[in-house]
């Protein structure tokens, strides 16, 4: 492995996570106390060094959340955010946090037009805030907000002033995301020559450069980096934790306390809590991060994974899974592997016909699900899948409304036994899918891994296509789809189809 900067090999970098503070400032995101506690405990499990739990002065609920997180007894340090205002700092101290992160605008555009203070007044406020925090024996981090648009001489003046006042860490925020890596490197290098306290960086992603700027800052001498799960944050978000950490670990050879095998798990938990979907193409944690469809790529990966993957980073390292996706670009080797994994045996002629039909389906603009593959294979082999259905759905009924809890009842033959199950949920689809899952006995329980809904026609009676993926206790994953005008029925049929196919694969394995 050729490292881009040998000086970073084995360098330790502290990870400061601000998902619960800047991440919650993502437009449309608002976390309840239960969700914040879940995320805080997961961040601690992940190995984050510092959790910025919130901005206590913002509201009574925010202060309560920071207090409760501070009382969890986590290994991570808990940080509260404050302006350079005594009441803000005291609100953080009331929460019993380990660190107070205090900030003030220093760029002329923000200083003049938002806080309306002179440069001298801002320095005085910053020094006073740091002293107040240190008088209470708490770790202090100072941020010159909009540092990357601040006059360098003035930035140096305020940094030296807060260092003399006892500040423990200086954060350099690229508040509006205007830096490029070469500029960030020079700025951090220059700041490191003027102060001796550890440097931190907080990069926004307005130009898609937050991670690149963060790693450039580490190259230049910063020893701590601020990140969020899934890159959440104001506007276009912040530097993503998973991307930043994996670059540090696998490209630079640096070290952090992050347990990388929990990255994918953490990403999904935050996705569920915030409601912000992870893009399929997102590096490290996206659905397609380790997915391959091209015949050339899949053949190479099946022979040796580093032919078409980074090599130094594997899906297992981040808790993800490699997927071979079938479609019109699929190759013979990938199709053969997929059908053999499902327990089918084919001749070369049968395999060729299966491949042709998969490509025909792909040419129609349709993704090829596992259920499609198995149905095609059964047809070519002359097998009848109906007899192998573990769940034979007979009846679905749903009750919902604005004053009642959505409830679904499902009637079906399960392994030849008639069962009727009712279930409640946050909506009719959730209730119905839960009811179907409850039809299964403990030995056949499955986990709903993914759910996608797409309207494929217009109007209020649009045809809805639902694609569902389910996973069993052994890690087998099968996806299937169904299309109907009724979203609930499309969802139920897709889930039943996926479960039946999964049971079939298990039976053949």
Is residue 108 a part of any domain in this protein? Answer: yes
CATH number at residue 69: 3.20.20.70
Picking from 344, 362, 383, the residue at the C-terminal end of a domain is: 383
Q: Clarify whether residues 256 and 347 are in a common domain.
A: no
Per the domain annotation, does 282 fall within a domain?
no
Rounded Cα distance, 125 and 227, in Å: 27
Cα 373 to Cα 290, 483, 509, distances in angstroms: 20, 17, 16
Provide the domain count of the chain: 3
Residues 98 and 185 in one domain: yes
Q: Do 333 and 396 sit in the same domain of this protein?
A: no
Cα 130 to Cα 51, 86, 163, 282, distances in angstroms:
20, 10, 9, 39
Shared domain for 21 and 154, answered yes or no, is: yes
Same domain (yes/no): 111, 259: yes
Residues 57 and 42: their CA atoms lie apart, in Å, by: 25
The structure tokens listed for 327 are 């479609």
Classify strands 391-399 and 407-414 as parallel, antiparallel or unpaired: antiparallel
CATH at residue 414? 3.30.160.270
Question: pLDDT per position in the chain (509 positions), as tens?
Answer: 454 567 788 899 999 999 999 999 999 999 999 999 999 999 999 999 999 999 999 999 999 999 999 999 999 999 999 999 999 999 999 999 999 999 999 999 999 999 999 999 999 999 999 999 999 999 999 999 999 999 999 999 999 999 999 999 999 999 999 999 999 999 999 999 999 999 999 999 999 999 999 999 999 999 999 999 999 999 999 999 999 999 999 999 999 999 999 999 999 999 999 999 999 899 999 988 887 655 444 445 555 666 656 768 888 999 988 776 666 677 777 788 777 777 788 888 888 888 888 788 777 777 777 777 777 787 777 654 545 578 999 999 999 988 899 999 999 999 889 999 999 999 999 999 999 999 987 777 888 888 888 876 666 666 788 889 888 888 888 888 887 888 899 899 889 988 988 888 777 65
Instruction: Say if residue 307 is in the same domain as residue 404.
Output: no
Full domain range(s) for residue 452: 387-508
Encoded tokens for 139: 């770790």
139 and 103 within one domain: yes
The total number of residues shown for the chain amounts to: 509
Strand order through the sheet with 477-484: 447-455, 464-471, 477-484
């Amino acid at each position: 492995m050729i490292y881009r900067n040998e000086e970073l090999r084995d360098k330790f970098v502290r990870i400061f996570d601000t998902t619960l503070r800047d991440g919650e400032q993502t437009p449309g995101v608002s976390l309840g106390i239960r969700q914040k506690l879940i995320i805080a405990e997961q961040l601690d499990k992940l190995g984050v060094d510092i959790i910025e739990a919130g901005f206590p002065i913002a509201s009574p609920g925010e202060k309560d959340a920071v207090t409760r997180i501070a009382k969890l007894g986590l290994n991570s340090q808990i940080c509260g955010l404050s302006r350079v205002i005594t009441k803000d700092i005291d609100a953080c101290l009331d929460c019993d946090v380990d660190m107070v992160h205090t900030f003030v605008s220093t760029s002329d555009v923000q200083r003049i037009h938002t806080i309306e203070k002179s440069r001298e007044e801002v320095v005085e406020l910053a020094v006073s805030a740091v002293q107040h925090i240190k008088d209470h024996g708490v770790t202090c981090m100072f941020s010159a907000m909009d540092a990357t648009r601040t006059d360098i001489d003035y930035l140096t003046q305020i940094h030296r002033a807060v260092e003399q006042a006892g500040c423990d860490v200086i954060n350099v925020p690229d508040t509006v995301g205007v830096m490029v890596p070469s500029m960030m490197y020079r700025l951090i290098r220059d700041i490191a020559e003027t102060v001796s306290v550890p440097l931190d960086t907080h990069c926004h992603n307005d130009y898609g450069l937050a991670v690149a700027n963060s790693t450039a800052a580490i190259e230049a001498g910063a020893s701590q980096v601020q990140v969020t799960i899934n890159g959440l944050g104001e506007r276009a978000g912040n530097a993503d934790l998973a991307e930043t950490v994996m670059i540090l670990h696998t490209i630079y050879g640096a070290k952090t306390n992050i347990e990388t095998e929990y990255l994918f798990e953490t990403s999904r938990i935050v996705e569920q809590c915030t409601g912000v979907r992870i893009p399929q193409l997102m590096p490290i944690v996206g659905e397609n991060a380790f997915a391959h469809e091209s015949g050339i790529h899949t053949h190479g990966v099946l022979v040796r994974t580093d032919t078409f993957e980074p090599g130094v980073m594997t899906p297992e390292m981040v808790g993800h899974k490699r997927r071979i996706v079938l479609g019109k670009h699929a190759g013979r080797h990938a199709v053969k592997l997929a059908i053999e994994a499902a327990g089918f045996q084919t001749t070369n002629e049968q395999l060729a016909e299966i491949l042709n039909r998969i490509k025909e389906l792909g040419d129609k603009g349709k993704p090829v699900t596992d259920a499609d593959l198995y149905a095609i294979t059964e047809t070519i082999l002359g097998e009848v899948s109906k007899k192998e259905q573990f769940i034979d759905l007979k009846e679905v009924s749903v009750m919902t409304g604005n004053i009642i809890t959505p409830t679904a009842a499902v009637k079906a033959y399960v392994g030849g036994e008639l069962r009727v199950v009712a279930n409640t949920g946050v909506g009719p689809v959730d209730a119905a899918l839960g009811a179907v899952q409850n039809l299964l006995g403990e030995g056949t329980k499955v986990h709903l891994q993914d759910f996608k809904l797409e309207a494929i026609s217009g109007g209020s009676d649009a045809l809805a296509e639902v694609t569902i993926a389910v996973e069993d206790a052994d890690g087998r994953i099968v996806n299937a789809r169904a299309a109907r005008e009724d979203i609930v029925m499309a969802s139920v049929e897709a889930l039943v189809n996926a479960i039946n196919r999964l049971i079939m694969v298990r039976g053949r394995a």
